[in-house]
Structure 1
Amino acid sequence: MITVAVPEHWRAVFFARDELGTLGEVTVLPQDAPLPPETRVLVTGWGAPVLSAELLAGVPDLELVAHTGGTVKPFVTDAVWARGIRVTQAGEAMAYAVGEAALASTLALLHQLPRFDHALHTGASWQAAKAAPPRNELAASTVGVLGASRTGRHYLRLVRALGAEVLVADPYLSTGQARELGARHCELDELLASSAIVAVHAPVLPETRHLLGARELALLPDGAGLVNTARSWLVDQDALLAELRSGRIDAALDVFDEEPLPAEHPFRGLPNVLLTPHEAAGTRQARRRQGGLIVAEVARFLRGETLKHEVRATDLARMG
């Protein structure tokens, strides 16, 4: 049995044509209901129940967890691996949308759109609204990509296609691999000091906690922009706030230490910050790809084929 533990709204988005029903018997789980004991495949969404040893004891036939989102860290436990249950996820389906959203943010910062928008919305005079810092075209700019992840590679290709010179910092990427992507590999400090825009696409690891702190942010040139569609874990939010308050740099942020972002948070009042509510991956096309990817993975599993997006215990350390 395929059990779908995905809220109704997301089921309609991911599986608009009920593709899972073509693969076998499907049970849609009401919110907070226990998993049927005969569940063999569990399709999960955001807010999925934690798969503890106690919960798994009630589903002795469970063999596959297929997650419609990206990271499975919040609900996959050691008990899953101990039972030999396999796990797959749809992060790849979301990567292009995040890369494209990061591109949109990049263009907005280069053209000072947040400052213009803020000035006009808050009643500034026409001449005052025009008094933004100098603007730049992407084709004349150096862009630094921090992390050659799936999203980082999509973003890299997009900014390159529009003419940007690209630097990339990633300890897991060789100089030759960077060259194949059309970028120049360099160390983090050089990337920060040389880039008009720095886009964060690094993984969440113990060593990447506040990878960009006060020292690193101070290396950014005056007028530079920071785009973070990855995780707030990677950037010291207090240090970033201090730089943004000074007006020296700009930022486009989709992720925050506290979500939802509190109504009184100082980020909300700054003219040089573009804010989005953790929605970089939220295109209709990405959501349909997520559902299609999961359907394809479940079909492969049922046919006894190799999964294309399997997550193993050793992969969790590099997931957001």
Structure 2
Amino acid sequence: MIALCLAPGLREMFLPPPIWARLRRLAPIGPLERAQVLITGWDTPRVDAETLTRAPELRLVAHTGAAVGFLVSDALWERGIRVTQTGAAMAPAVGEVALTFTLCLLHQVHRFDHGLRSGSGWAETRSAARPRRELRGSVVGVVGASRTGRAYAGLVGAHGAQLLLADPTVSAGEAAGLGATLVELDDLLTRSDVVALHAPAIPATRHLIGRRELALMPDGAALVNTARSWLVDSAALLDELRAGRIDAALDVFDEEPLPADSPLRGLPNVLLTPHQAAGTEEARHRQGTLTVSEIARFLAGEPLQHEITRDQLRWTA
């Protein structure tokens, strides 16, 4: 038996008719009380001890998103329930948005758009922008060789950027295989025209980019964050952006939805999107397909390809 804890809109998004039909061929859809598999989404409450008392047969949680930290509990791990997720399905879309952000920042598209929309004159808008740069030949620093980081590195490298990578879990040889030079974070921040964040949200990365780190970025450099706001000291970033020293493109925020009175909304050197980097139709369908494939493997007694264990979660949340 498979139980779903997805709002109708999410079910339609991840499980359109062909994918839904494949899921229903695997096992009946029914209540949590009789389910061996639970499909979850962003709106699913934590699977805690109280929830598990209603699910005596549960053996697998198949999450349609990537981050599962909000979802899992000690009680779940102690019951030996397995967890799988779909981060791999989202990486191509997030990589493309990070590339889009990078191009916009280098070419000052965000400043031009802000100037024209706010009523500035044609010549004034043009003169207010910084000198533009092409991606080819620019130094791009990638913080984190995650799935999205690797997707982004491939796209940026194909456009002729010089890639730097900071990731303590990656060897110099692995970085070279991605077309990047492995460096320490401080070195990356000092040398990069664009810094793109793709690190996981784990205790060790809380405010990885703080006031000291932001100060290392050269005047006119740019920050791209399609990962998690967890990685950045938002107050320190706001100070730098208000000073106009650096530019940024942000898809993630400490408070979501972004408040209407957020000072970020009025800054000409900031490009904002509403946490939708992974929101393509193709990515959503890949997420649904991957979820169903993992369930099929689980029911057939085959190894899961996208399992997250308790130990892994401490390092790769």
Aligned to 1:53: 49
Aligned to 1:32: none
Q: Does 1:72 align with 2:68?
A: yes
Q: Does 1:235 align with 2:232?
A: yes
Residue 319 of structure 1 deviates from its aligned partner by 4.1
Aligned to 1:3: 3
Aligned to 1:112: 108
Aligned to 1:127: 123
Aligned to 2:163: 166
Q: How do 1:14-163 and structure 2 match up within 5 A?
A: 14-17=14-17, 18=20, 19-27=22-30, 35-131=31-127, 132-163=129-160
Aligned to 1:208: 205
Among 277, 282, 286, the alignment partner of 1:289 is 286
Whole-angstrom distance in 2 between the partners of 1:49 and 1:125? 50
Give the structure-2-normalised TM-score: 0.97
Number of residue equivalences = 313
Structure 1: which amino acid aligns with 2:149? G
Q: Is the 8 A contact 1:71 1:319 kept in 2?
A: no
Structure 2: which amino acid aligns with 1:66? A
Question: What is the SS of the residue equivalent to 2:164?
Answer: strand
1:164-215: CA deviation from partner (whole Å, max 9, x where unpaired) = 0000011111111111111000111111111110000111222211111111
Structure 1: which amino acid aligns with 2:307? E
Unaligned runs of 5+ in 2: none
Structure 2: which amino acid aligns with 1:40? Q
Residue 50 of structure 1 deviates from its aligned partner by 1.5
Unaligned runs of 5+ in 1: 28-34
Cα-Cα RMSD: 1.0
Residue 129 of structure 1 deviates from its aligned partner by 1.0
Residue 318 of structure 1 deviates from its aligned partner by 2.8
Over 3 Å counting, the alpha-carbon distance change for 1:243 and 1:25 in structure 2 is same
Q: Is the 8 A contact 1:204 1:317 kept in 2?
A: no
Aligned to 1:251: 248
Q: Is the 8 A contact 1:148 1:202 kept in 2?
A: yes
Aligned to 2:274: 277
Q: Is the 8 A contact 1:45 1:69 kept in 2?
A: yes
Question: What is the SS of the residue equivalent to 2:297?
Answer: helix
4+ aligned runs moved over 2 Å, structure 1? none
Residue 40 of structure 1 deviates from its aligned partner by 1.0
Whole-angstrom distance in 2 between the partners of 1:226 and 1:297? 35
Question: What is the SS of the residue equivalent to 2:34?
Answer: coil
Whole-angstrom distance in 2 between the partners of 1:242 and 1:301? 49
Residue 232 of structure 1 deviates from its aligned partner by 0.8
Q: Is the 8 A contact 2:146 2:200 kept in 1?
A: yes
Q: Is the 8 A contact 2:32 2:38 kept in 1?
A: no
Aligned to 2:195: 198
Residue 267 of structure 1 deviates from its aligned partner by 0.4
Q: Is the 8 A contact 2:201 2:230 kept in 1?
A: yes
1:136-157: CA deviation from partner (whole Å, max 9, x where unpaired) = 0000201000111111000000
